[in-house]
Structure 1
Amino acid sequence: MKISVLASGSKGNCVYLEGDGSALLVDAGRSARELLGTKTKQGRLAESGGRSDLIDGILVTHEHGDHIKGLAAVGNNLQKTAYGTVGTMDAFIRQRTSPVRFPVQTIKCGTQYEIGNFIVEPFAISHDATEPCGYLISEGSTRLCYCTDTGIVTESMMSVISRADGVILESNHCPEMLRTGPYPEFLKRRIAGNRGHLSNPDAAAVLREIGDSIHLAILAHLSEENNEPALALSSAQEGLSLHAESVELFAASTVELEGKAPMRKKQGSSRESCCDECWQYQFSL
């Protein structure tokens, strides 16, 4: 399974997964122009080595703008089915001001669905959206878990995450940066609450539980104001502890600001920083 993080963070989220002759998008929180490109310019999908003709569906986690802002245009362009829970898809349709000219299918958490060459199992998460979910995505014997935009990780969520060979896991904020940062108090409470976002220590605790069984961990949805890729990566390495050398780590950051570049640690290597955007990396699981 090939994985490319096309966008990650409050400005938009989108992940491309490619298997053997089939591909999926998870969320479409950036414009179709940015993701798919134009007649004269490649988009992030092509720049990452992905192929739009392989995409068999779009998995939607929830209806917040940074996850569905480009969904209508991307769906209309690709003419592929978008999948989401009843609450998510109803909210998406209500928000639309232009026609949806592609199929929409509702799904239930805990039920498996065959999409292209993938088996997709949505599971409930804890976020201030209508009916948000994460996904366990399998191709053959390989399993990737996508879990972002959740304030807590419950036992039922861990039972799904622990089945994965790799994870795309939220590591949204550093608690101290959030506490002392510029956000108003109500927003700080929302982010740190049970229906908000996972902190770096929260993500590290999850990795501590599954470190002996995964090969890849991509830290996602990093806050621009309340986190740094290096902090998220360092915390994750502490969580992995003795397993850190056998797990490839990547802190995805599409913030276009110098000093907040993505961070990557390959298996058996020391960590490195890079100045390129995160969609230029492709991972194999």
Structure 2
Amino acid sequence: MRVSMLGSSSSGNATYIETPKRKILVDAGFSGKKLKDLLAGINRDISDIDSLFITHEHSDHIKGVGVLARKYNLNVYANEATWRAIGNKVGTIPIEKQNIIEQGDILTLDDVDIVSYGVSHDAAEPQFYAFQKDNKQFTILTDTGYVSDRLVGLLKNSDGYLIESNHDIDMLRMGSYPWSLKQRILGDEGHLSNDAGAQAMIDMIGDRTKRIYLGHLSKENNMKTIAHQTCVSALTQADLGVHEQFEVYDTNPEKPTDLYTL
């Protein structure tokens, strides 16, 4: 199984998962042209994508869904509440291409298993996914106000993680956002701060974990250097073997990470 974070920020998100038999996108928060260019950046052709999994209906996750589904005849997966919330936001998707995967489901597509799980976010019924193949697991967990004990138990000791590191709390509190928006981001249905994302990793990483990617950074309320240092410092203080057992990697708003084999 190979993975690349094609782009990850508060303005757009897409992750690429590849197995010998499947080429999958999780979210399509960019234009169709941009997604084509991002995939070309890892030497992959957008026309080879066969499936698209949607986490929730916010625009930074679905902007390109309709274009991709129609142009490339993709099977698109989401839960029923998310399909209803999407409505006509992305144009018409053929009904035969609309597939249901509910929270807690495990779906097998040829040589990969996809585990879905609910998160706490202000969307209709947000859910994220872990991909399993040959005793390897890659976990995606962003857009959540907190990480429950249930999720920690479910996602513990994955080989790789994309974890939310959305904001620096001080930058957010001192920034220009209206107070109501700050409350939303800081709330239980908002986003994980740098500190909260680091704590989630302290709770979840195990002997198998080799890579942690920091994702969904806010352009206004975070900096890559701050997010990275916060996570590395927390993991170092917890004596968990950062730089020895595993590494922490940054993601970019519009540039893919290297294609990595788990």
TM over 0.5: yes
Distance in 2, Cα, partners of 1:189 & 1:84: 28
- Could you tell me which of 235, 242, 245 is aligned with 1:244? 242
Following TM superposition, the consecutive aligned residue runs of length 4 or more in structure 1 with deviations greater than 4 angstroms are none
* 3-state SS of paired residue (1:179): helix
TM-score, length-scaled by structure 2: 0.92
Identity %: 32
Residues 14 and 67 in structure 1, CA contact (< 8 A), matched pair in contact too: yes
Query: Paired residue for 2:26?
Result: 26
Counterpart of 2:255, as a letter, is C
Query: Per the alignment, do residues 20 and 248 of structure 1 end up closer, same or farther by CA in structure 2, a change over 3 Å counting?
Result: farther
Q: CA deviation at 1:130?
A: 0.1
Residues 161 and 167 in structure 1, CA contact (< 8 A), matched pair in contact too: no
Distance in 2, Cα, partners of 1:188 & 1:76: 37
Counterpart of 1:73, as a letter, is V
Q: CA deviation at 1:163?
A: 4.4
Query: Paired residue for 1:235?
Result: 230
**Between Structure 1 and Structure 2, how many residues are aligned?**
256
- Does structure 1 residue 139 correspond to structure 2 residue 137? no
- Does structure 1 residue 130 correspond to structure 2 residue 129? no
Query: Paired residue for 2:256?
Result: 279
Distance in 2, Cα, partners of 1:116 & 1:35: 24
Distance in 1, Cα, partners of 2:33 & 2:110: 25
Q: CA deviation at 1:11?
A: 1.7
Counterpart of 1:212, as a letter, is G
Q: Say which structure, 1 or 2, has more relative contact order (CA 8 Å, 6+ apart).
A: 2
Query: Paired residue for 1:8?
Result: 8
Q: CA RMSD in A?
A: 1.6
Q: CA deviation at 1:157?
A: 1.2
Q: CA deviation at 1:282?
A: 2.3
Query: Paired residue for 1:45?
Result: 39
* 3-state SS of paired residue (2:242): helix
Unpaired segments ≥5 residues, structure 2: none
Q: Any idea what the Cα deviations from partners look like across 1:24-65, whole Å, max 9, x if unmatched?
A: 1000010111112xxxxxx11121222435433111000000
- Could you tell me which of 55, 60, 68 is aligned with 1:66? 60
Unpaired segments ≥5 residues, structure 1: 37-42, 255-276
Query: Per the alignment, do residues 236 and 150 of structure 1 end up closer, same or farther by CA in structure 2, a change over 3 Å counting?
Result: same
